[in-house]
Structure 1
Amino acid sequence: MKDIILKAENISKQYRLGQVGTGTLSHDLNRWWCQLRGKEDPYLKIGETNDRSTKGESDYVWALQDINFEVARGEVLGIIGKNGAGKSTLLKILSKVTAPTTGSIKSRGRIASLLEVGTGFNGEMTGRENIFLNGAILGMTKKEIASKLDEIIAFSGCERYIDTPVKRYSSGMTVRLAFAVAAFLEPEILVIDEVLAVGDAEFQKKAIGKMQDISRGEGRTVLFVSHNMAAVQALCTRGIVMKNGSIDFVGGIEDCTQHYLNDSSLNYEFEDFQDRVGSGLVKIKAVKTYGVDEDVIPQTGKPFTMEFILDNPKNIDLTKILFDLRIDDNMGQRIVWMSTSLLETSDHFFGDKLVFKIKKLNLNEGTYYVTTHIMIDNVVTDWIQNAFSFKIDKGDYYGSGRNIPTKQSKFLIDFKVEYDN
């Protein structure tokens, strides 16, 4: 029998868009009247799927719907999915930051959460004082916190600034201290959102090592959310893939990451997309990616095209727009950066389409993720992290009849070998 330490049963979370609460007196009275008669909340019967990229008709949306899973003691569970899939909402419910609309969470032991940089920290207090404050919030006594104090400070790497107010810390220093507190005060369940991405490479390595020690050596449980597939695969034993507020796949971590990475499309619509930053003066409306022809998946060694349809209502000269894009691999590591600033042109173009063309694609087989960034006169107009993904099929890049294994190289280059006596 598994030693189940955390159990989620029929968890759903509903939000009303654009408002806090039900928003109207008539809704409040209707809900109260149904509760008085012992009937179900009528607003649980309406609402749409949590698809952030589409425009809906209902004022209600299910951020989560019918989530069920169990976590065993000592297990490291990875929760992955696209932006807006409901991962952070689920962690907030598990951490009791917010309550579910329906369903229940059953846990055995103390839960420590690291959801956002600086959550639970008081900016006016010093790092040392915040350690005691956070420890108290987690249910520790002053004596217990004091016994771990030196280890926490040493691990955080913030010793020089430990008696400085936290408001003067960088985001990286803040997350270092917050992680150290959560990890060393020995909670039975440690819940960690994407915050480790704020830290530098050295700290991320330390943090992952500490989480491995916590789970494998000390038998405690970790729930880990990240878009960094390398970190997820290194740390987790089992995974959940979330999509549009529901669980899409459950299984071993390798199967989960492959399921997540294979969920890609050639065409993307961004007209009603909300998860973006910028003034909106010029923004992406749609993207199409293809290989040799418009209905062909990209292939290594063949032509590759990315067509961006822009929302450009003021008909701004496209040559005045700084359009950058970054291509990452499935581990979240940057592979390529391209920018219109690298190519000079004296012509003027007015319209709504930008097309990036690569004559001979030198990326190896796999799934890749694109972040887009548009600026005009040093002002960000549209910035979308992990805006879309594309998949590349294997191809004969060198014309030798051989494919290069992805473990050998993700990036291929033209070269020749000369034999000289």
Structure 2
Amino acid sequence: MTVLSIENVTKRYQLNQKGNSTDDLRDTITRWSNSLFKPSKNKNTKEDFWALKDINLDVKQGDRLGLVGANGAGKSTLLKVLSQITEPTTGIVRVKGRMASLLEVGTGFHPELTGRENIFLNGAILGMQKAEILRHFDAIVDFAGINKFIDTPVKRYSSGMYVRLGFAIAAHLEPEILVVDEVLAVGDADFQKKSIGKMRDVSNSGRTLIFVSHNLTAVQGLCNKGAYLRNGELIKAGKIDEVVNEYVKTVSKFQLKQKWADPNEAPGNDQVRIKSISLTPNQEIVVDNFDTRTPLKMVFEYWNMMDNAELNVSIFLYSMTGECVFNIGDDAKIYQKGIVRAECNIPGDFLNDGSYYISAMIVKDRLAPVFFFEDALAFDILDYREGTDWYGKWPGAVRPKLITVNSVQKELL
């Protein structure tokens, strides 16, 4: 059953206008009256910006839909349209059932009211009866971890307390559709873990979830469907793995080498300057593409402009979803002024297929970072399989060949 239908939805904003969203009624009336008697001298200052362009999407009951895309793609605008915070310029949104939204810290809270009062206020907004709210009250307070501050006005809450209480209310008052934006990033690791678990419980109970996050691992782990937005347009919708792969392909930057001949033009500072960094297949046969079997060799060179400096290099390998696969470093040594070279070998049959990038840090005295060379290299690892008929996505950032399983059959006694 379709619980959310988005038909030809567009959203247009006009830029370069006088006034802003924080203007009160008096400001708005003043600008309107002035426009009647004082024609604008700059009639061509308005510019249309299309935040959403002809979006069509259906969401079924029980679906866990992950929205992915770069900043400015239109994800938050779409959520605001779905939550009826803003009206679409054209198009129709049909919602079947109650929807609870957690889009920004403090959304739906009255700052002068206490946490207790805001729980009842939000429940009433969702159409809940007082008895229903009371039934979930203790669970909400316990989940949010604000027992000591439940009768304190929320204007005195920290951003973390705001988001914990807002999520607890939205998730526990049993809406048919739960909408959650990147706001969960405000919480600590323990709260994020609890929140992911709660959202999974919501979806397992047959309710519908719409989730936006830049943590693609969380999106893939939680959602079964996905929608990829780019510049306000829906690029792809379908199974979450297919949607995420399409998104990653478009943002992946393939860069295997950077080199500078003049230290004055190289990245760095007055202590060190980057000379070169490269990634090549560590094998006799030169290949154009790396796959899961390919051993890799990274070479990093930099100019050291310090005498008697104890230095070492720290290498970070990240998946394209932003998770650190590993961080390794060489032994610290005393170096004089000159060129320092470091190497890192990544064995074959270690990395899983996917997109990765490498950053390098030069460290002094085993503690103080001297220079952090971010996103220095970017590369893709292609899939390779033999002896299997299954070609679904292999989970994990690594898939090393470490063990051999020997099956032993025993006779029944």
Q: What TM-score bracket applies, with the shorter chain setting the length?
A: 0.5 to 0.7
Distance 2:63 2:355 in 1: 29
- 2:63 is matched with which residue? 75
Query: Which amino acid counterpart does residue 352 of structure 2 have in structure 1?
Result: E
Question: Is 1:129 equivalent to 2:89 in the alignment?
Answer: no
Kept after mapping to 2: 8 A contact 1:266/1:288: no
- 1:400 is matched with which residue? none
Distance change (3 Å), C-alpha of 1:301 and 1:388: closer
- 1:54 is matched with which residue? none
- 1:5 is matched with which residue? 3
Distance change (3 Å), C-alpha of 1:155 and 1:328: same
Q: Work out which of the residue numbers 331, 336, 344 in structure 1 matches 2:326.
A: 336
Q: How many residues align?
A: 352
Which runs of structure 2 are paired with 1:243-258 in the superposition (5 Å)?
A: 243-258=230-245
- 1:39 is matched with which residue? none
Question: Is 1:145 equivalent to 2:152 in the alignment?
Answer: no
Q: CA deviation at 1:91?
A: 0.9
- The structure with more strand, counted as a fraction of residues: 2
Which runs of structure 2 are paired with 1:351-390 in the superposition (5 Å)?
A: 358-360=344-346, 364-368=351-355, 390=379
Kept after mapping to 2: 8 A contact 1:364/1:406: no
Question: Is 1:259 equivalent to 2:246 in the alignment?
Answer: yes
**Unpaired segments of 5 or more residues in structure 1?**
32-42, 45-59, 269-280, 282-286, 308-316, 350-354, 397-404, 415-421
**Length-normalised TM-score, structure 2:** 0.64
Query: Which amino acid counterpart does residue 56 of structure 2 have in structure 1?
Result: N
Distance 2:93 2:278 in 1: 42
Q: CA deviation at 1:115?
A: 1.0
Q: CA deviation at 1:129?
A: 2.6
Q: Work out which of the residue numbers 92, 97, 101 in structure 2 matches 1:113.
A: 101
Identity %: 42
Distance change (3 Å), C-alpha of 1:371 and 1:173: farther
Which runs of structure 2 are paired with 1:20-59 in the superposition (5 Å)?
A: 20=17, 25=40
Query: Which amino acid counterpart does residue 75 of structure 1 have in structure 2?
Result: D
**Unpaired segments of 5 or more residues in structure 2?**
21-38, 257-268, 270-276, 362-367, 386-392, 403-413
**Length-normalised TM-score, structure 1:** 0.63
Kept after mapping to 2: 8 A contact 1:229/1:257: yes
Kept after mapping to 1: 8 A contact 2:255/2:378: no
Report the 3-state secondary structure (helix = DSSP H, G, I; strand = E; otherwise coil) of the residue aligned with 1:239: strand
Larger displacement relative to structure 2 (232-241 or 181-190): 232-241
1:258-301 alpha-carbon deviations (Å, 9 max, x no partner): 33333323159xxxxxxxxxxxx9xxxxx998767997558765
Q: CA deviation at 1:114?
A: 0.8
Distance change (3 Å), C-alpha of 1:201 and 1:358: same
Report the 3-state secondary structure (helix = DSSP H, G, I; strand = E; otherwise coil) of the residue aligned with 1:258: helix
- 2:152 is matched with which residue? 164
Q: CA deviation at 1:20?
A: 4.4
Kept after mapping to 2: 8 A contact 1:76/1:215: yes
Distance 2:230 2:278 in 1: 22
- 1:239 is matched with which residue? 226
Distance 2:155 2:45 in 1: 45
RMSD across aligned C-alpha pairs, in angstroms? 5.1
Distance 2:329 2:109 in 1: 39
Report the 3-state secondary structure (helix = DSSP H, G, I; strand = E; otherwise coil) of the residue aligned with 2:152: coil
Question: Is 1:87 equivalent to 2:85 in the alignment?
Answer: no
Kept after mapping to 1: 8 A contact 2:278/2:377: no
Distance change (3 Å), C-alpha of 1:186 and 1:365: closer
Distance 2:334 2:86 in 1: 53
Query: Which amino acid counterpart does residue 166 of structure 2 have in structure 1?
Result: A
Distance 1:290 1:9 in 2: 48
Q: Work out which of the residue numbers 377, 381, 393 in structure 2 matches 1:392.
A: 381
Kept after mapping to 1: 8 A contact 2:352/2:398: yes
- 2:201 is matched with which residue? 213
